[in-house]
Amino acid sequence: MQTWVIKLGGAVLNTEDAAKALFEALASQTQAQFVIVHGGGSLVDNWLTEAGFASAKHQGLRISPKEQMPYIVGALAGCANKQLMSQAIIAGHKPVGLSLYEAGIISSQKLKALGQVGNCDGGVQSVIPELLKLGRLPLVSSIGFGEDGLWYNVNADEAAAAIAKELNAEIIFMTDVEAVLDANKQPLHQLDTNQINTLIAEGVILGGMEVKVKTSLLAAQHLRRGVYISSWQKPENLIALLAGEHVGTKITP
Ligand SMILES: Nc1ncnc2c1ncn2[C@@H]1O[C@H](COP(=O)(O)OP(=O)(O)O)[C@@H](O)[C@H]1O
Ligand SMILES: CC(=O)N[C@@H](CCC(=O)OP(=O)(O)O)C(=O)O
């Protein structure tokens, strides 16, 4: 059976019932199995602000000082993960909430200047194949653990791509815009390496979208086929993508 990793941007939690509608769409797909990897950047923003912290990003990655990690872990592996579990249960799934460690990923520090921002290194046996055999829906946050036992804040797009690679699965990135947009805010149907490099250099693709297109490109190169960035705002997009239709932006290797 084909396995799909679906990356859900955390803003899905800000729109009532949006995640539930996506989970219902997945419940109708009996010929495939799914792993959800989710973000929650907007929830982290709120929690850090409420705790009185300033938060900054570098090329779309949140600088994550150690003292902010309890809030980041609480928001992502706690609140966001458990809110999605609620929506999945209502839609008829039997979800299991996981961090990256249980999903087979060991993290390590990306860059000293970014604090506890983590890479995905792989290296520990994943429980996901067993959960899928049991008919469970793995819901994975992007909180990682190192060999040192420390917590890491991994960008959720990078986390999703690492899990897809490890499972040899297809991947779809569901975000809060219908597609990657050009300088005139028009949707781009397809993007290759050269176009991506130009649009990033021109500042048209930036922030979280910069990480997403770069990560999608790596995933497309690994899979040797196009990878889609599309919107979670329409559950029918997901069904169409699973059926092989073109919706959103196709990132080609
Ligand atoms: N060229 C672009 N096209 C579309 N969105 C872009 C672009 N450049 C930057 N963005 C921003 O990237 C956001 C999506 O990235 P991000 O917030 O990290 O999403 P997610 O939480 O789904 O991972 C969009 O909402 C938009 O504000
Ligand atoms: C290192 C890093 O940037 N971590 C992200 C993890 C969450 C995430 O990626 O959330 P979205 O998918 O909703 O953007 C963060 O702290 O915002």
Q: What is the DSSP string of 146-214?
A: BTT--EEE--HHHHHHHHHHHHT-EEEEEESSSS-B-TTSPBPSEE-HHHHHHHHHTTSS-THHHHHHH
AA identity, residue 159: A
Interstrand relation of 57-58 and 227-231 (parallel, antiparallel or unpaired): unpaired
Ligand nearest to C-alpha 109: 2
- The ligand 2 atom at the shortest distance from the C-alpha of residue 8 is 12
Residue 155's pLDDT is 98
- The ligand 2 atom at the shortest distance from the C-alpha of residue 142 is 6
Ligand nearest to C-alpha 248: 1
- The ligand 1 atom at the shortest distance from the C-alpha of residue 211 is 18
Strand partners, 139: 36, 97
Distance 158 CA to ligand 1 centre (A): 15
Ligand 2 in contact with 161 (CB < 6 A)?
A: no
Please name the residue that has the structure tokens 């979800």.
95
Distance 204 CA to ligand 1 centre (A): 11
Domain span at residue 199 reads 2-251
Tell me the pLDDT tens digit for each residue of 19-43: 999 999 999 999 999 999 999 999 9
Distance 149 CA to ligand 1 centre (A): 32
**Cα(171)–Cα(196) distance, rounded to whole angstroms?**
19
Supply the residues annotated as catalytic.
7, 10, 41, 157, 212
- Domains identified in the chain, total number: 1
Low-confidence residues of the chain, pLDDT below 70?
none
Q: Cβ(45)–Cβ(63) under 8 Å?
A: no
The CATH number linked to 89 is 3.40.1160.10
Residue 28 burial (10 A CB sphere; 0-12, 13-18, 19+): exposed
How many CA atoms lie within 13 Å of 91's alpha carbon, on the beta-carbon side? Answer: 23
Ligand 2 in contact with 213 (CB < 6 A)?
A: no
Residue 122's pLDDT is 77
Residue 123's pLDDT is 82
Ligand 2 in contact with 38 (CB < 6 A)?
A: no
As for the ipTM of the complex, it is 0.98
Task: Could you list the beta-strand ranges (E) of the chain.
Answer: 2-8, 32-38, 57-58, 61-62, 95-98, 107-109, 118-120, 137-140, 143-145, 151-153, 170-175, 190-191, 227-231, 249-251
Ligand 2 in contact with 39 (CB < 6 A)?
A: yes
Nearest CA to ligand 2 atom 4: 155
Distance 31 CA to ligand 2 centre (A): 31
